């Protein structure tokens, strides 16, 4: 079973990385740090992959996207599992929201519930934020490497390492199975570039459909449903103006996300169960399902239907339930 | 936490980054200025082609193409121009990165309709510009096509097909024509020679340079100067297509033409170096470190080599020793990518911001020569 990387190790790495990053930014500035630390290595790996994969930049983009997703896999898994845990906690969150009218008290109870369930409400945000610079750099790297103009090729020279293996690979072939990776698409021209834009929309939609929603009320759910359609349209719009190489990256990374989503959340519409178990030790049922009575300070326990679902059930909970029944 | 609250800022950030990305590598062009008597022709901004009359203060604007006030010219979009304009009799031929070509009258005016003045679209982008060869002109495109057209109406010249001859690699360099033989380098590292009249290849097989050929020059005595983006520079026999000696190994990409004096080639590379290469002995006489990449072809005036780099700095270098005599940073010039042009003892420099400068090797100074009155 795939489990999250131990939290302490992640925290340690994040701390070291954070200190190094702050030091680099303070010394060299943000732009230089971003370029030297992320953009340049990515561009050079892309060029090396292109050279190794028979001079096909399309294959290089696909391989590189998968490579990056592999490197960021622990972060992605942590984000997905935190999101799933958040979802599982929603019934209790709703209960707290109904029960407590005092915002301060409500917040305290919510935090308590999160703590008891071993969920960090920002846990799904952190890995996403950490991945974001990587995704932005990747985006720039593909655009830069494609060198869609003489100026771009001139600029590219400043990003390449001086190894002859890399130097001799320039310029890169823009065509990939009939797709011109350096050019965008036009609605008025039916070609494979336009097909890539359609795939951008489809893969973004598929990604949204396989993502677990963390909504506490009907309004939020409606918003999320709207986003399921808005996002693909927006990314298709981007895809029309961007070189198809960038769109290809988006298609591949979206399909990888779909695979990971199905692996972690399952896909009920097709009766696909989750392949990966919950990340954290399960919370005790009494603790997870207990809600303090407002004003009394007393705690009452009652079974929580939502927390006994297969995604949140646990041996420990069952054992406690058996004890309670006995 | 509501997912939509998370998604909206993420989308906004993506949108901001995305919109920023759109412009960072857009073509702007780097065509060098051209002088004809007291008139200078210069691209001040992308495809804004301007003629101006030189005077003691700079230059007085004369006309611009395309003129947005004229309906016939509104629709033109050369996008950016990298090669020099061609002067064929009383017409000026411009070749744009958009793949559009246009012939203008003496006052820079386009007159619609093929026959007298014409416009044409070709397959791919034109980077290196066109070369005049008698009553024909030749150029290549990024779609690997090589075109030979006549200057009268831009039509095809037999036996060259109207939609160009397909080569194996993209053509970024400006073709070279010597004695009715056309030489053209491709980005897959091959150098071709064709007879303009018959269209036949001159050599049994193309010369393989081992790196992308983005520029090309004929340096006299039947010798071609073939720089590559791999950092090697070859001297190739124009008649046989054979290398005349081992290649020169530069530190970085060489994407420029050399300036030649007494058998020595002076040129720069993308590792900020300028070289003096004795082509007879193969020795490097000296190297000079500039501030940035050297894309622009330099000029020699008296005993001074003048080069510009991509930091916008003009360097005055002693020709014999390679020692810096002076370096002047041009504020607001942008990058110097267009080749420098020598006129009456001065070097003329065009920056990517469309500002024109004049370097004086006698005083080692550079002053801006403003094009006044341009709309």
Any idea where the domains of chain A sit in the sequence? Answer: 7-280, 281-326
Q: Is residue B146 within 8 Å of B102, Cβ to Cβ? A: no
Element (H, E) at A20: helix A7-28
pLDDT in tens, B133-153: 999 999 999 989 999 998 888
- DSSP states of A156-212: HHTTS-S-HHHHTTPSPP-EETTEETTS---TTS-SHHHHHHHHHHHHHHHHHHHSP
Contact A151/B1, CB-based, under 8 Å?
no
Q: Chain A closest CA to B18's CA: distance in Å?
A: 8
- Which positions in chain B touch A121 (Cβ < 8 Å)? 1
Rounded distance between C-alpha atoms, residue A122 and residue A128, angstroms: 10
Q: What is the pLDDT of residue A298?
A: 41
Contact B229/A242, CB-based, under 8 Å?
no
Q: What is the pLDDT of residue B292?
A: 96
Q: Is residue A42 within 8 Å of A63, Cβ to Cβ? A: no
Q: Which two tokens stand for residue B290?
A: 């500039």
The count of CB pairs under 8 A between chains A and B is 101
Q: What is the pLDDT of residue A214?
A: 62
Number of residues that make up chain A:
326
Average pLDDT of the residues of chain A: 74
Rounded distance between C-alpha atoms, residue B234 and residue B246, angstroms: 7
Nearest CA in chain A to B253: A157
Does residue A227 sit at the B interface (CB-CB below 8 Å)? yes
Contact A143/B211, CB-based, under 8 Å?
no
- Which positions in chain B touch A86 (Cβ < 8 Å)? 1
pLDDT in tens, A25-44: 777 777 788 888 888 999 99
Cα–Cα distances in angstroms (integers) from residue B305 to residues A172, A188, A198, B319, in the given order? 34, 52, 55, 6
Contact A149/B97, CB-based, under 8 Å?
yes
Q: Using CA of residue A147, residue A148, residue A150, residue A155, what is the dihedral sign?
A: negative
What DSSP designation does A307 have? G
pLDDT in tens, A83-93: 777 777 778 87
Measured from the Cβ of residue B159, the count of other Cβ atoms closer than 10 Å reads: 11
User: What global pTM score does this model have?
Assistant: 0.78
Q: A207: which residues sit within 8 A by CB, 6+ positions away? A: A254, A257, A258, A261
Q: What is the pLDDT of residue B263?
A: 95
Q: Does residue B14 register a pLDDT over 60?
A: no
Q: Which residues pair with B60 in a beta bridge?
A: B53, B372
Reported ipTM: 0.89
What's the gap between Cα A281 and its chain centre? 23
Contact A167/B211, CB-based, under 8 Å?
yes
pLDDT in tens, B22-78: 445 688 999 999 998 899 999 988 878 999 999 988 899 988 888 878 777 777 888
Q: Which of B3, B22, B252 sits opposite A213 (nearest CB)?
A: B3
Q: Residue A121: name the closest of A152, A146, A175, A85 by CA.
A: A85
Q: Is residue B342 within 8 Å of B23, Cβ to Cβ? A: no
Contact B337/A155, CB-based, under 8 Å?
no
Percent helix, percent strand, percent coil in chain A, to nearest 5? 70, 5, 30
pLDDT in tens, A50-103: 989 988 889 998 998 898 888 888 877 777 777 777 777 778 877 887 888 888
Contact B3/A214, CB-based, under 8 Å?
yes
- DSSP states of B112-140: -STTTS-EEE-SS---S--EEETTEEEEE
End-to-end CA distance of chain A: 33
Does residue A202 sit at the B interface (CB-CB below 8 Å)? no
Q: Chain A closest CA to B223's CA: distance in Å?
A: 24
End-to-end CA distance of chain B: 55
For B290-329, b where at least 16 C-beta lie within 10 A, e where not — what string? bebbbbbbbbbbeebbbbbbbbbbbbbbebeebeebbbbe
Contact A149/B210, CB-based, under 8 Å?
no
Contact A157/B21, CB-based, under 8 Å?
no
| Residue of B15, B21, B296 best to disrupt the A interface, most CBs of A under 10 A | B21
Contact A167/B255, CB-based, under 8 Å?
no
Count helices and strands in chain A by DSSP H and E runs: 15, 4
- DSSP states of B189-222: SEEEEEETTT--BSSSS-EE-SS-----EE-STT
What DSSP designation does A308 have? G
Angle at A81 between CA A141 and CA A12, to 5 degrees: 70
Nearest CA in chain A to B7: A227
Q: What is the pLDDT of residue B137?
A: 93
């Amino acid at each position: 079973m795939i489990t999250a990387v131990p939290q302490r190790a992640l925290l340690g790495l994040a701390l070291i990385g954070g200190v190094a990053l702050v030091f680099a930014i303070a010394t060299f500035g943000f732009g230089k740090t971003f370029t030297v630390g992320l953009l340049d290595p990515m561009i050079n790996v892309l060029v090396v992959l292109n050279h190794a994969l028979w001079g096909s930049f399309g294959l290089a983009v696909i391989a590189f996207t998968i490579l990056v997703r592999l490197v960021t896999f622990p972060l992605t898994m942590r984000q997905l599992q935190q999101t799933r845990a958040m979802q599982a906690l929603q019934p209790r969150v709703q209960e707290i929201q109904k029960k407590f009218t005092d915002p301060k008290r409500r917040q305290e109870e919510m935090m308590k519930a999160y703590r008891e369930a071993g969920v960090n409400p920002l846990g799904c945000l952190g890995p996403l934020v950490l991945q974001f610079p990587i995704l932005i750099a990747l985006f720039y790297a593909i655009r830069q490497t494609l060198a869609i103009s003489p100026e771009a090729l001139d600029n590219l020279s400043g990003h390449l390492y001086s190894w002859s293996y890399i130097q001799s690979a320039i310029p890169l072939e823009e065509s990939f199975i009939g797709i011109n990776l350096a050019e965008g698409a036009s609605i008025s021209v039916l070609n494979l570039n336009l097909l890539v834009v359609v795939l951008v929309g489809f893969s973004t939609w598929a990604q949204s459909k396989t993502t677990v929603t963390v909504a506490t009320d009907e309004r939020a759910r409606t918003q999320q449903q709207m986003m399921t359609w808005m996002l693909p349209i927006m990314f298709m719009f981007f895809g029309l103006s961007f070189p198809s190489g960038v769109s290809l990256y988006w298609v591949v990374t979206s399909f990888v996300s779909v695979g990971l989503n199905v692996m972690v959340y399952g896909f009920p519409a097709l009766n696909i169960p989750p392949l990966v178990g919950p990340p954290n030790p399960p919370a005790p049922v009494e603790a997870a399902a207990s809600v303090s009575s407002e004003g009394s300070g007393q705690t009452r326990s009652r079974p929580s239907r939502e927390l006994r679902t297969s995604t949140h059930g646990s041996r420990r909970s069952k054992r406690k339930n058996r004890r309670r029944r006995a | 936490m509501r997912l939509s609250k998370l998604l909206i800022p993420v989308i906004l950030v993506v949108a901001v980054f995305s919109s920023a990305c759109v412009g960072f590598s857009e073509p702007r062009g780097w065509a060098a200025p051209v002088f004809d008597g007291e008139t200078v022709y210069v691209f001040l901004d992308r495809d804004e082609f301007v003629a101006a009359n030189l005077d003691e203060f700079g230059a007085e604007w004369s006309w611009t193409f395309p003129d947005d006030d004229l309906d016939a010219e509104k629709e033109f979009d050369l996008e950016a121009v990298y090669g020099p304009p061609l002067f064929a009799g009383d017409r000026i031929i411009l070749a744009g990165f958009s793949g559009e070509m246009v012939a203008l009258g003496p006052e820079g005016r386009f007159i619609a309709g093929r026959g007298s003045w014409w416009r044409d679209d070709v397959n791919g982008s034109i980077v290196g510009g066109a070369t005049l060869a008698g009553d024909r002109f030749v150029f290549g495109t990024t779609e690997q096509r090589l075109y030979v057209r006549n200057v009268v109406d831009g039509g095809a010249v037999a036996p060259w097909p109207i939609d160009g001859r397909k080569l194996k690699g993209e053509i970024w360099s400006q073709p070279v024509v010597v004695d009715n033989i056309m030489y053209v380098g491709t980005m897959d590292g091959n150098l071709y020679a064709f007879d303009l009249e018959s269209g036949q290849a001159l050599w049994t097989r193309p010369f393989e340079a081992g790196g992308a050929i983005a520029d090309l020059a004929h340096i006299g005595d039947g010798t071609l100067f073939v720089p590559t983006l791999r950092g090697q520079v070859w001297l190739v026999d124009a008649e046989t297509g054979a290398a005349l000696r081992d290649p020169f190994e530069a530190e970085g990409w060489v994407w420029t033409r050399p300036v030649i004096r007494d058998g020595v080639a002076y040129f720069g590379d993308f590792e900020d170096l300028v070289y003096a290469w004795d082509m007879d002995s193969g020795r490097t006489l000296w190297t000079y470190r500039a501030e940035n990449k050297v894309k622009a072809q330099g000029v020699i005036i008296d005993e001074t080599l003048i080069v510009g780099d991509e930091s916008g700095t003009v360097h005055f270098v002693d020709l014999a020793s390679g020692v810096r005599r002076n370096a002047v940073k041009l504020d607001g010039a942008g990058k110097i990518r267009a080749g420098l042009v020598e006129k009456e003892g001065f070097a003329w420099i065009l920056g990517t911001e469309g500002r024109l400068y004049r370097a004086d090797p006698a005083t080692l100074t550079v002053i801006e020569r403003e094009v006044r009155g341009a709309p």
